[in-house]
Amino acid sequence: MTDRHTHTQDGKNDFHHYRHHHHRHFSALLQGVSEAEGEKQSRGGGSQESTHTNTQHVTASSMSGRVCSNAWLWRGFLLTFLSFLSPGMCSGVLGGEDPLKGVEDPPLDPGMEVDPAAWSDYLNNLFDPVFDPSVASNVSVVEKQTAHLVCRVNSLGTKTVSWIRHRDTHILTVGSFTYTSDERFSALHREGTNEWTLQIRQPTVRDTGLYECQVSTKPTRGFLIHLAVVVPQASILHAPEIHIDEGSALNLTCVVAPSPAAPEYIFWYHRGEVINYESEGSVRVTVRQEEDRTVSTLLVVKATMDHSGGYACSPSNTPPASVTVHVFKAEEPAAMHTSSGRSLPPPTHLACTIAFLLPFLMLHPARIT
């Protein structure tokens, strides 16, 4: 019982000292706020003073403004922190009884000065920055399309966020400032949010690589993001030539890959002119995204002779792909079609005569003299 009582008593003494320490800082901080507000009110009414008095008043106002600004900045943090030191919570930690029962709070010390920089360092040690793990660590963009690398940092405090390119360990941005002569790079941050974005305009394949979102802790902490800049290509399935019969369906499929995002547009051309499939009811065009590729399909339900000719698929971010379509009349035998799309000439009269007489000559060779 004696050891337990001594252990509990030591815990109470430590807690009294801990709470008294924080109470003194908090009291001094509130005292600074009260004095700043009093000076502000006294400055509002009153008669004109001498030039020397006005100079002192301006100096005091500037100092009180800084105190008020720093005091209100940390007031919310301190109120939240001291709320955890309530007697109810401490009673559960120190054995079920209130260690502060009967203890009066120390009086305010108007003469104590508070160093805002010291309080800033103190609170920064309490709350360590943490990276949001839900942010994508692999980003793919099409060449020449603006890339955005997003980094979210919680509990940043007064620390700064920098972006570093691993290829040459070059510091690209610090906070909202750019530290590179390459104007394509810039930092994006909206006040009040935890997002720090590195923007890269007109990226090229050479920009592919690792980029680090770094926080100015000791030691520094970083979050790596891999950027892949790709160059997509367009192709039409079954190119370069397609043969169909008149009245059958014409289905042309254009594939754009690799394509992390769909192009702004994909135009189809027939004989050099853009196909207006909205006005032509017989033509339908669809576009869909499949993982890392974009697929556009042109469908003609019943093809006619007019649908013959060259077709081209032209995405916004790639050179066009082309194909030639041959439509044949339904009565033409399929065997007459060659891979080049040209029909064979009809058999001559002499060939028909030979084909008719050859079996007869083979059966009666002796009659031929």
pLDDT band at 346 (very low <50, low <70, confident <90, very high): low
| Window from 109-118, 255-264, 274-283 with minimum mean pLDDT | 109-118
Q: How confident is the model at residue 2 (pLDDT cuts 50, 70, 90)?
A: very low
pLDDT tens digits, 186-198: 999 998 899 999 9
Confidence bin at 151 (pLDDT 50/70/90): very high
Name the residue among 115, 113, 125, 112 with its Cα closest to residue 81.
125
Residue 172 scores a pLDDT above 90: yes
Rounded (10°) angle between helices 51-83 and 116-126:
20
What sign for the dihedral angle of Cα 109, 113, 119, 120?
positive
Instruction: Tell me the pLDDT band of 116, cut-offs 50, 70 and 90.
Output: confident
Q: Which residues contact 121 (CB under 8 A, 6 or more apart)?
A: none
pTM: 0.54
Q: Which of 65-79, 123-137, 213-227, 236-250 has the lowest mean pLDDT?
A: 65-79
Tokens of 314: 């032209």
Residue 40 has pLDDT above 60, yes or no: no
Reduce the DSSP state of residue 40 to 3 states and report it. Answer: helix
Q: How far apart are the first and last CA of the chain?
A: 143
Q: Which of 10, 30, 1, 12 is nearest to 102 (CA)?
A: 12
Query: Which of 104, 101, 99 has the alpha carbon at shortest distance from 7?
Result: 99
- Candidates 336, 279, 341; CA nearest to 309 is 341
Tokens at 166, concatenated: 């691993």
Residue range 124-129: mean pLDDT, rounded = 72
Please report the pLDDT score of residue 276 as a whole number.
84
Which of the two residues, 158 and 362, has the higher pLDDT score?
158
Name the percent of the chain lying above pLDDT 70.
Answer: 55
Q: Region 25-42: what's the mean pLDDT?
A: 50
Q: Select the more confidently predicted residue: 18 or 256.
A: 256
Q: For residue 179, is pLDDT > 80?
A: yes
pLDDT at 49: 42
pLDDT of residue 115: 77
The alpha carbon dihedral of 334, 335, 341, 346 has a sign of negative
For 263-280, how does the pLDDT look when each residue is reduced to its tens digit (9 = 90+)?
999 999 999 999 987 666
At 168 the pLDDT is 94
CA–CA separation, 350 vs 316, rounded Å? 58
Highest mean pLDDT out of 66-80, 121-135, 244-258: 244-258
Longest dimension (CA), the chain: 150
Split at pLDDT 50, 70, 90, the class of 161 is: very high
Q: Among 155-159, 178-182, 183-187, which is the least confidently predicted range?
A: 155-159
Q: Is the pLDDT of residue 50 over 50?
A: no
- Give the chain's mean pLDDT: 74
Query: Is the pLDDT confidence value at 62 over 70?
Result: no
How far apart are the C-alpha atoms of 139 and 149, rounded to whole Å?
Answer: 7
Q: Residue 63 above 60 pLDDT?
A: no
Other Cβ atoms less than 10 A from the Cβ of 182: the count is 13
Mean local confidence (pLDDT), 325-332? 83
- Residue 37 phi/psi, 5° resolution? -65, -35
